[in-house]
Amino acid sequence: MKKALAFILCAVMASAFAGCGSGSTETSSTAATEAQTTEAQATEAQATVESLSEDTKKQLDSALSEANFNGVAQITRGGSVIYQYAEGNDDNGNPLTIDASMPVGSVSKQFCAAAVMLLCENNLLSVDDKLDKYYPDYKYGDKITIKNLLNMSSGIPSYYMAIIRGDMLSANEEENVKTIKDAIFGEELDFDPGNGYDYSNSNYFLLADIVEQVSKTSYHDYIRKSFLEPLQMKNTGFVEEISGGYEWTSALSKTEVMDETACPGFVKGAGDIVTNAEDMDKWMHGLSGGTVISSDSLRQMTETINPDSAEDYGYGLFHMPYDGVGHTGQIPPHFGAVDYFNTTDDVYLFAAANTPPGMSFVEQLPEALLSILLGDEE
């Protein structure tokens, strides 16, 4: 409320100075109108914040507390934060705060999918491209399309367990990428491309590699320049950077993740993002509002669903309860996360846990919280 009042006062003061500066009635009138508009918008936003009853807040708190959720959760609506929750401690034993950045695992896949769609918009690739265009020596390259990778219908098994069992990773990204590609391209397919569904990190690892080939820059640089910087996501980076002293890690909940996860390139495109509630809200609004990719690209991400997917998976996004979309992610044993946005009800939710009880709850969290929030309006 104080921020809204300060914003209104600034607008009124700006109007007064504009009138004194030029002596123009037209300028003064325009500024006054703009100030009135700003005041009306601020009042509307304030009403949105206050529309969440104390009883609803208590129910949301109880749902998270009863699930032993240790982490952060935030809901925004109408452009305003209407609910925040922070429980537990960071790795230094300090109380966890809402601004803590944490690894979000597979929530990262929507960033990769959006990067592919942005390249499509710029006519640099097509979702109908076959993989032999990018990997001419891959024996199944003429059967699998980029679309198959996006919606998990490629039939390519996940490299994840094979690489961990083999203890084949190093501190060199180029070596790791080659190791993972060799593992992926050496496997047989689980089913004919386009004729099934299997959630596989291999799909998004290859998509990130294709983004690098097409953009002629590193995947992380492409994500940073295309999305993080334009959206001013200053608390967001990548798992490999956690121990590197980056400024955005100052509120990090945990400074250590699985050794394999932090190895350069290992989860690129599939689970590499580290972020916080404020930045994820910027991301979800940007993605759904047409500032990250076009509305048609988002439609493809959310509506082009693999018919064989029991999970109702699009391009880096699941369909979720109450007609929303989003994704869950886990980095065992500590981290679990979920994002959710619903443009019809104008609800944006993000939560991240840093202990196992909360981590296991993230998949059920959207329905658990939204049934309280949206049910309060019925």
Q: What is the pLDDT of residue 370?
A: 94
Tokens representing residue 320 in the block: 């979720």
Q: Per the domain annotation, does 280 fall within a domain?
A: yes
The enclosing domain of 88 has a CATH number of 3.40.710.10
Q: What is the pLDDT of residue 306?
A: 72
Number of domains observed in the structure of the chain: 1
Q: Per the domain annotation, does 180 fall within a domain?
A: yes
Which DSSP string corresponds to 230-251? TTT-TT-EEGGGGGGT-GGGGG
Q: Is 77 in a helix, a strand, or coil?
A: strand
> How many Å apart are CA 117 and CA 113, to the nearest integer?
6
Note if the pTM is more than 0.75: yes
CB 98 within 8 A of CB 279: no
Q: Per the domain annotation, does 46 fall within a domain?
A: no
Q: Per the domain annotation, does 364 fall within a domain?
A: yes
Which DSSP string corresponds to 97-126? -TT--EE-GGGGHHHHHHHHHHHHHTTS--
Among positive and negative, which fits the CA dihedral 209, 339, 334, 256? positive
Q: What is the pLDDT of residue 6?
A: 32
Q: What is the pLDDT of residue 58?
A: 95
Q: Per the domain annotation, does 17 fall within a domain?
A: no
Q: Per the domain annotation, does 275 fall within a domain?
A: yes
Q: Which residues of the chain have pLDDT under 70?
A: 1-51, 161-167, 255-262, 308, 310, 376-378
Q: What is the pLDDT of residue 164?
A: 57
* Strand (E) or helix (H) holding 220: helix 219-223
Q: Per the domain annotation, does 23 fall within a domain?
A: no
Q: Per the domain annotation, does 240 fall within a domain?
A: yes
Range of 329's domain?
57-375
